[in-house]
Structure 1
């Protein structure tokens, strides 16, 4: 591998296409929103699956399905119309450090938002300005909006990342990739219209960072927001309109192929 952009573009495009296909879905957390057809159900199921997405993928999928079963496999209807008795069913739900306290606040926020808006997209786009190069302001605004209700549990704040805290925002960037990218390959949904694929920031974790450094796409050592921007800046050299598609290649090389 020479490291020239054209060589890398051909290689990473080939790898992205290898993983960006329907067979990828069943073993990945994106299978959770794929259980639904209604847009709001896709958004809500996708958000929980993304927030749960650290650690073993099999367990992430199992816990996401467990939560959706508690919501009668109708998350949007549950969010808007649950009773106190329905909420009691959720007591004891836990995934790693995400517990019932966190879940109940998430439900309160989602009920508030969906009572006033038809889609979760506006929770991100309302903070953006014309000409934003990336979704940084969308993520920062979403964090403050999400925690704008009264009586926010202090412990719940750790479950929503923000560029202001120099987090890589890996899980939210992955969620936005799911909702925004349109390529008709059957994996990402492309159901949001007001964020461009060119504005997406590539999700980055230790696996992706390791592969990126091996190919000299990334110099920064900490896996943080600045690293996510640095990596995405390079990926824009390969495809300025859709840099996040290379998440498939980097993920596949790092997690599946242990490159």
Structure 2
């Protein structure tokens, strides 16, 4: 396929998969349970944090997290005490355990009290056409509180070579202006043009087959290469092609 044919093909796939039906089988359904901005972004951040492995398990465990937070995540984050934190003692999702969960609750409170919330924490270090430096700086802010070293692995750092798939997915959810009702677009201080495609096994393999990516590892360098290719197709909304790459890989076995 030439560039025009590739764009037409991927645009059709975006239309096919960027629909409300997508929500029913995707972890993005968790933040869609809420209407308050802070609830949406906290639910999205925590869900994205554990978004690896079996999708059904991710969704079930994310719902369990929300239940443990009284289905009012922002209120819990801001008002919790030590007794309430004990309610999180039995949570585990793969390597993300109850101590990690408690640290995340405390770190999120720190972000809202001292850094004006999640949106501002990401927005204040953004660079033109890349959120990757901002993600790295966010990690530093997030772990300004006391924490175990093991918990730090649950927030990726692109400056250390990570593709930061889960945080880039979270940013897509919050920032991208979506007229289909899937992504929220509630963060107005960050441009969709700066977003990166969540790069994982599925999207990476499809991107390579389509000639959008040549690097074999799914790391930060591969992400930069993929971003460059997708911005040639749509400079204002490159991350929309996540729907196409994901759909082709997961639903069609492309």
> Where has structure 1 moved over 3 Å in runs of 4 or more?
116-119
Instruction: Using the TM superposition, give the Cα deviation of residue 117 of structure 1 relative to its aligned residue in structure 2, in angstroms.
Output: 5.1
User: Which residue matches 1:86?
Assistant: 84
Q: Which runs of 5+ in 2 are unaligned?
A: none
Q: TM-score, normalised by structure 2?
A: 0.97
Residue 77 in structure 1 maps to residue 75 in structure 2: yes
Question: What does residue range 84-233 of structure 1 map to in structure 2 within 5 Å?
Answer: 84-116=82-114, 118-129=116-127, 132-149=128-145, 151-233=146-228
How many corresponding residue pairs?
254
> What is the CA RMSD across the aligned residues, in angstroms?
1.0
> CA–CA distance in 1 between the matches of 2:181 and 2:117?
21
Question: Among residues 243, 246, 256, which one is paired with 2:241 in the alignment?
Answer: 246
Question: Per-residue displacement from partner, 1:36-81 (whole Å, max 9, x unpaired)?
Answer: 0000000000001101111111100000000110111000000011
Q: Which runs of 5+ in 1 are unaligned?
A: none
- The CA deviation string for residues 200-221 of structure 1, in whole angstroms up to 9 with x for no partner, is 0111111111101101110101
CA distance in 2, matches of 1:113, 1:215: 40
CA distance in 2, matches of 1:146, 1:28: 26
Is the 2:110–2:142 Cα contact (8 Å) retained in structure 1? no
1:148 shift after superposition: 1.5
Q: Does 1:15 align with 2:10?
A: no
Q: How much has 1:184 moved relative to structure 2? A: 1.5
TM-score by length of 1: 0.96
